[in-house]
Chains A and B, each alone.
Chain A
Amino acid sequence: MRAALLIARREVGFYLRSWTGYLIIALVLFLDGFLFNAFCVSGSKLSAQVLTEFFYNASGVTVIAAALISMRLLAEEHQSGTINLLYSSPVRDHEIVLGKFLGALVFLAVMTLPTVYMPMMIFLHGKISWGHLAAGYLGLMFYGAAALAVGTLASALTKIPILAGVIAGCSIGVLILTHWLARVTERPLSEVLTAMAFHGTHFPPFQQGMIHLRDVVYYLAITYVALFAATRVLEARRWR
C-alpha cells in the first residue's frame, strides 16, 4: 500500500507541476461555468432544481475530465519507458494500478473543488439543503471514480495516450448509451441494460440529493472490475 501511495503522490505532483493539469482544471471550470450560466440560472426555477441541473451538467464535464486525466496514466509510462522503473522495483502490479488511480482521483477532487462557488451562488437568492449539495458532490466523485477506472483500463491497453483516451471515451459512451438502448428493447434485456446504465439510472438520485446503496455499489463495482482488469493487463504485458 505504501508503494501505491508513493505512486499516487507522484501522479498528483505531475499534474500540479505541469501545464497539463492546469489546462484540464481551466477547461473544467470554463465548461462548468458556461453550462451553469447558459442552462441552470436561466429562467425562473426553484433553487433545488438549479442545483439538480448543475450536477447534471457537472457530471458530463466530469466524465470528459476523467477521460483526459486517465488516458496518460499507464500509456505514457509505457510510451516513455518509465514503466521499467516500476516493473523493476519491488512494487506489485495492483499497487501500480491503484497508485495511478488514486493519484488521478485526488486530482479529480482537487479539480472539482473550485466548482463549489456555483452552488454557493444559489444561496444569494434562494435556499438549498447542505445534504443535497453533499450528495451531489459525493455522486460526482463516485461517477468520476468509475469513469477514471475505465480510463485506467483503457490506458493499460495501449502505449498511445490519445488512443487510450479514445478507447476510454468510447467505453464510457457505450455504458451511458445503454440507458437509451434499454428504451428500445424488450424485457428482460431492457432491465439488464437499465441496471447497467452508467448515467441514466444511477446518477439522477445523486443529482437530486439522494444516496441509494444500489447506486454506490454499482459505481464501486465498475471501479473494482475496471481496476482489476487493468492489473491483469499489466501482468499479461510481462509475458509478452
Chain B
Amino acid sequence: MIEVDGLTKYYGTHAAIRDLHFSIARGEVIGFLGLNGAGKTTTLRVLGCVLLPTSGHVTIDGIDIARDPHEIRKRIGFLPDSPPLYNEMTVGNYLTFVAELRGVGRSEVARRVAAVEEQTAIREVNSEVIASLSHGYRQRVGLAQALVHNPQLLILDEPTSGLDPVQIVEMRQLIKNLRGAHTILLSSHILSEISQTCDRLLVIQSGEIVAQGSEEQLAQRLGGAAAIEIELRGDGERGRQLLASVAGVAQIELVRQDGETALLRCRPALEAAELRPALVRALVGAEIDLLRIDRAASQLESVFLKLTQTKEAA
C-alpha cells in the first residue's frame, strides 16, 4: 500500500530524515519507534501530506504524494502529536465539520459522526464544548476526526502522549479495535505501547531507519530470541534443571531465589515457536507451583537501547 524510496526531508541545512526506504502492506499495523527528535514526526507528517519531501518518492496506492497529494488526502486520517481541535466548537459540530471537509456525503455525515463517536466512546460528550474536555477526551476526539471519513490509512503521531495510565490502556484498546479495518502507522517512544499494538516496528534514529521487523526478529538480530520470565514457588535450581530439558529451550538461568520464590529467565532457541505452554506443562507435571510466566518486559527496551546505542557509536 505504501512504498517509500529514498525519502529525505531537510529543515534548512538540517536533515530531519535521510534516505528512508520501506514498504507497508495493506492492513498492517506499523510502529515508528525512536527517541525524541529521531525523525518520527517528520516522517509521519510527510506521509500525512502535511509536509512535502525534499527528495525521494512516496507512493500510497500507487499515487505519488508530491504529484497528487489531494487524492491521497482523501484516503488518510491523520492525528498529529497535538490533536487539531477547535476549542470553541462542540464535539458534534467539530466532527460534522471535519466529515464535510473530508468529503463525506451530506446524507452520510450524521451516520458517520454517530458511528465514530460510538467507536471512540465519546458519544456522551457530543454536545460539550471542546475547550471543556479533559486531555483524554481531547485525544479521543482527535482520533475520531482522523477516523470520521473511514480512511484506508490511519496515521497516529504519539496517540498516547500525555495520557494517564488508565487513559493509555483505553487508547491502546481503541487502536487495537481498529486493526483489520485500516492500515495503521503510529509513532511512540513508549516501548511497551509499540510492542503491544504493532505487527512490525521501524526503529528510527537520527533521521535514518536502523532496523525493521517484528519484535522477535529484532531481538533475534541482536542476540537471541524473546526471553521468558518464570516465577515459581519452591527450589529455583530444581525448576531450572527441569525446564532445561524442555525441547526448544536454548538457555535457562536462575535470576534470583527470594526465600520460597524463585525467578528464572529462559531463552528459547532461535527457531523455537511459542514455548510457554510446554514450560507450564513441565512445571505442572512436576507439581511445582507456577506463580507467573511472561515474556521479559525489558526485552524491547534492550533491543531499542542496543539499536540506538549502536547507531550513536557508529
Contacts and interface: CB of A to CB of B under 8 A. Distances in A.
Interface residues of B, number: 30
A10 B94 CA distance: 9
Interface in A62-99: 80-92
Contacts, number: 65
Given A84-B50, A240-B11, A89 B86 contact: no
Please classify the interface of chain A as helix (H, G, I), strand (E, B), loop, or mixed, using the class held by over half of its residues: helix
Given A88-B49, A88-B50, A238-B52, A10 B86 contact: yes
B78 A88 contact: yes
B312 to A, nearest CB: 28
B56 interface: no
Interface stretch (B24-32, B95-103, B239-247, B273-281): B95-103
Contact of A87 (B11, B49, B83, B86): B49
A157 to B, nearest CB: 18
Interface in A193-240: 238-240
B73 A18 contact: no
B20 interface: no
A120 to B, nearest CB: 33
Interface residues of A, number: 24
A85 B271 CA distance: 46
Given A10-B97, A81-B83, A88-B48, 10 more contacts: A13-B89, A13-B93, A17-B89, A81-B84, A85-B84, A89-B73, A89-B101, A90-B103, A91-B73, A92-B70
B182 to A, nearest CB: 15
16 contacts: A6-B97, A10-B86, A13-B88, A17-B88, A81-B82, A81-B83, A81-B84, A82-B84, A84-B78, A85-B101, A86-B101, A88-B48, A89-B102, A90-B74, A91-B73, A238-B52
Given A6-B97, A14-B86, A84 B80 contact: yes
**Among all A-B residue pairs, the 5 with the closest Cβ atoms:** A85-B84, A88-B78, A90-B73, A82-B84, A87-B50
Nearest to A15: B88
A3 interface: yes
A14 B82 CA distance: 20
Nearest to B50: A87
Interface of A: 3, 6-7, 10, 13-14, 17-18, 80-92, 238-240
A86 B73 CA distance: 10
A158 to B, nearest CB: 18
Given A6-B100, A90-B70, A90-B73, A238 B50 contact: yes
Contacts of A18: 88
Contacts of A85: 84, 98, 101, 145
B51 A238 contact: yes
A82 B85 contact: yes
A7 to B, nearest CB: 8
A238 B46 CA distance: 9
Contacts of B49: 87-88
Nearest to B72: A90
Contacts of A6: 97, 100-101
Contacts of A3: 101
A86 B101 CA distance: 8
